Structures are given as structure tokens and as C-alpha cells.
Amino acid sequence: MSKHAAVGRQPLKLDLNKSAQSLRLSLDKAGVASDIKAELIFDIDVSGSFEHEHEEGTTSKLIERLVPYGIVLDPDGAMDVFTFSHGASTAHRVGTVTPADAEGYILRNVVDQVPGWKGGTTYSYVLESNLRYFGWLPFEERGGMLNTISRFFGGGQGPQFRDKKRSIVIFVTDGENEDGDEARTMRVLAESQQRGDNVYFLFIGACEHNVEFKFLKTIASRFKNTGVVIIRDLEAFVQKSDAEISAELLGKELIDWLKA
């Protein structure tokens, strides 16, 4: 199916403001105060095995179902979108998604357009990009305006930091991490935990095939700021009610992290 195809055979029409109200009610019931905020990032795997779900519009629907989390929790009311496949060069910030442009977002902005489209799968590099974006790791504008200005004024090439922001990363993949990247991913997460980064990682394994997601389960059991949700039928998941989706995604650990 081309990127210009319809989002799905039976388009899911949502009232995202109503969905946000439902989410707020779920958070209220869980004891999460209305003034608690966290920046939102949505990481989406663009490896070859996930191509069908992207091109048929299922992952665009998933973005729609998650936009209310940005409305309710993100100070800007939006959610940043990153894509990834294999290696550092494929960790790519696409932009932000809002209620106004959520429908068909992956079809319009990702399919056949992002670095690493239909590549392999490594987790660590996009996680590092997330941590840089939120200010928990230094970043370098290689060859960019920041370094040019710094050199002009005699400044050094030391690490640059953004403002640190309390953050939630929703990381969606349809497959296991490549073996060669597992140790690196564990190191990125371990160092983040040791620094005390105020970030929660919610890993979503979405695959109807025989993928056990052993590595995601290992991550979730090892680190206190990580959770995992396994979705075996993504097309059915995105058709669930707001309350059902909240029940699956808002685990006790995430609720406790929000209230901390």
C-alpha cells in the first residue's frame, strides 16, 4: 500500500479531547495530580519487518491513541516523534505530533522518508538521542551553527547540554534488538539510572508473530524506570476504548514514577 493510501479500511475517528478527558480521569483515580507534567517522546521502529503496519496505517492510528498523553502530560500539549532502525545514523527526530495533525501521521511523515527506512533493529542509539534531546546527555552540533559561533568567540568544543526535562519515552518495536546492541542498550539504561535521570521508558513490543521480546522483559525487570507492554494484535489494540488503553499502558510502576 502506498503512503497515499487511506489510513485504514475502517477509519478510526476519534474525539481526542474526549480521549484526553478519559485519560485525565484515569490519572485522577490513580492519584496523579493534575499539575504533574512530563515531556513525551514516541519512538517508532522503522525496520523492514514493521513496514506493513506503517503502510496500512496501523501505527498512524497508534499515534492518534497516544496523542492524549501529550495533551494531558506534556507541558506543550504535543508529543515528539523519533524513528529508528539500525545504527546511529537512523536515530531521527521527525517532529512533533498534535491533535491537529495526528491522523495519518506515519503515512505522511515517515513511510519512505526517514533515515534507515526498512533497515534492521538497534535500540541504543535512539535512546541516546532521546536522552540528549531531554538534556540528560551532552549533545554536539557537529559542523553546525553552535560550533561555528563557539569557534568564532574562542570557545572550546566541550559538551553542550539542553535544559534537563522530566520525560517519558514510549518506545515501540516489532522485534528483538540485534544481539550486538544488547550490551550497549543495557549500558545506556544503566548509566541513565545511575545518573538519576528523571526519565521513564515504556517499551511496547508489538508483533503478532512468534517474537518473545525476551530482551524487553529483561530491561523491564532490571531497571526501576522501565516498563514493558506486549501487544499481540496492534490493529485490535488501536480500536480499544480509551479506558482499556489506559489500563494497559498505565502500569503501577509508571503511576508511582509520575507521583514521585
Percent pLDDT > 90 in the chain is 83
CA 257 – CA 260 distance, rounded (Å): 5
More confident position, 226 or 8: 226
pLDDT of residue 157: 57
Q: Are 40 and 70 in contact (CB under 8 A)?
A: yes
Q: Are the C-beta atoms of residues 136 and 195 closer than 8 Å to each other?
A: yes
Summarised one tens digit per residue, pLDDT across range 44-88 is 999 999 999 999 999 999 999 999 999 999 999 999 999 999 999
Q: What is the pLDDT of residue 151?
A: 41
**pLDDT at residue 141 in the model:** 56
Q: Would you state the pLDDT for residue 5?
A: 41
pLDDT given for residue 11 in this prediction: 53
Q: Is the pLDDT of residue 155 over 80?
A: no
Give me the count of residues in the chain: 260
Mean of all residue pLDDT scores within the chain: 90
Could you give the angle at the alpha carbon of 228 between the alpha carbons of 222 and 234, nearest 5°?
160
Cβ-in-10-Å burial (0-12, 13-18, 19+) of 250 comes to buried
Q: What is the set of domains in the chain, with CATH numbers?
A: 42-138+158-259 (3.40.50.410)
Q: What is the pLDDT of residue 146?
A: 45
- Using the structure block, give the residue that is written with the C-alpha cell 530482551: 215
Q: Is the pLDDT of residue 161 over 90?
A: no
The confidence score (pLDDT) of residue 138 equals: 93
In the predicted model, what is the mean pLDDT of residues 197-217? Answer: 94
The answer to pTM > 0.85 is yes
| Mean pLDDT calculated for residue range 88-109 | 96
Three-state secondary-structure class, residue 43: strand
pLDDT, position 209: 82
Asked if pLDDT for residue 210 goes beyond 60, the answer is yes
Question: Is the pLDDT confidence value at 142 over 60?
Answer: no
According to the model, what pLDDT value does residue 13 have?
A: 62
